Amino acid sequence: MEDKAKILIKRLSELKDERNAVVLAHNYQIDEVQDCADHVGDSFELSRIAAETPAQVIVFCGVHFMAESAKILAPNKTVLLPETMAGCPMADMAVAEKVREMKEKYPKAAVACYINTSAAVKAECDVCVTSANALKVINNYPADEFIFLPDQNLGNYVAGKTQKKIILWDGYCITHHRVTAEEARKAREAIPGALLMVHPECRPEVVDLADKALGTGGMLRYAGESQETKFIVGTEMGLIYRLKKENPSKEFYLLSAGMICPNMKLTNLQKVVDSLENMSPQIEVPEDISTKAKICLDRMMQYS
């Protein structure tokens, strides 16, 4: 098995040189994929890297909406998604037609979409947000009320910290939403003295019990800078690998054994190599959708 991994890593290195390619991996990817990547990060961080890198081929190890965002920001580059079945159930909870219906129902509201949405949905929205910048974007954007989609939990988190009216969409991340307050309390009891940090995609009652509510990038920064040495981590299990790797002297515990995203675990080293070998599967976004979606993403940068 180890020999096979070495062969694959060697072949991947050759292919990256041949194709002028870069490998990007989300923080939730499996260990071997994170280790083979040129950059590991959150979805928007990686999309920005895709746009800025001189590489002409982007191998995006994540889920479909992430590769779409990279293609929108880097339309002249080839974007490969090694596993086409890697979708996002939360992103699927918002479709363009339903967004248009909500806009008709609330004509005075701006539409803010979480980056965890399809390109077609972003094209229907006014501004995009991430878990890290959502509050800042909402407060800075020139509107008094917002339809916030698709994550009701992140929307609720923002609503509790802004004076603006937030109209919540009925959507959620199945991985974060399944965690209960009881699990959070039990984790605290089991690991006394540990700091509890959770993703704002968790239920409000779980967020209320946490010491810190942070996105993946925020968790990584906080864990690195904090004087604390023990952390209970309330997000997808893949982040634990990077947290331990970057902070070997500290201890990290997963809040709940159920915090695993099956879609994020579909990509492996073999598929990464195969995608570059065959230059497939390629992600394409229709120009009319891409143009509108890019405005949504550009406004996020403007107002964050």
Per-residue pLDDT tens over the stretch 84-123: 999 999 999 999 999 999 999 999 999 999 999 999 999 9
Confidence label for 47 from pLDDT (cuts 50, 70 and 90) = confident
Q: Is the pLDDT of residue 2 over 70?
A: no
Per-residue pLDDT tens over the stretch 223-262: 999 999 999 999 999 999 999 999 999 999 999 999 999 9
Find tokens 């239920």 and name the residue.
Answer: 203
Per-residue pLDDT tens over the stretch 3-36: 888 999 999 999 999 999 999 999 999 999 999 9
Q: How far is CA 14 from the centre of its chain?
A: 29
Which whole number is the average pLDDT over 284-294? 97
Inter-residue contact 199 to 216 (CB < 8 Å): yes
Mean pLDDT of all residues belonging to the chain: 96
Write the class of the CATH domain 2-87+264-286.
alpha beta
Per-residue pLDDT tens over the stretch 148-197: 999 999 999 999 999 999 999 999 999 999 999 999 999 999 999 999 99
How much is the pTM?
A: 0.94
3-state secondary structure of 227: coil
Which two structure tokens, joined as six digits, stand for 135? Answer: 């509050």
2-87+264-286 and 179-257: identical CATH topology: yes
Inter-residue contact 290 to 119 (CB < 8 Å): yes
Report which of 247, 254, 295, 296 is spatially closest to residue 130, judged by C-alpha positions.
296
The domains of the chain are located at: 2-87+264-286, 90-173+288-303, 179-257
CATH number of 179-257: 3.40.50.10800
Would you identify the CATH topology of the domain 90-173+288-303?
Answer: Rossmann fold (3.40.50)
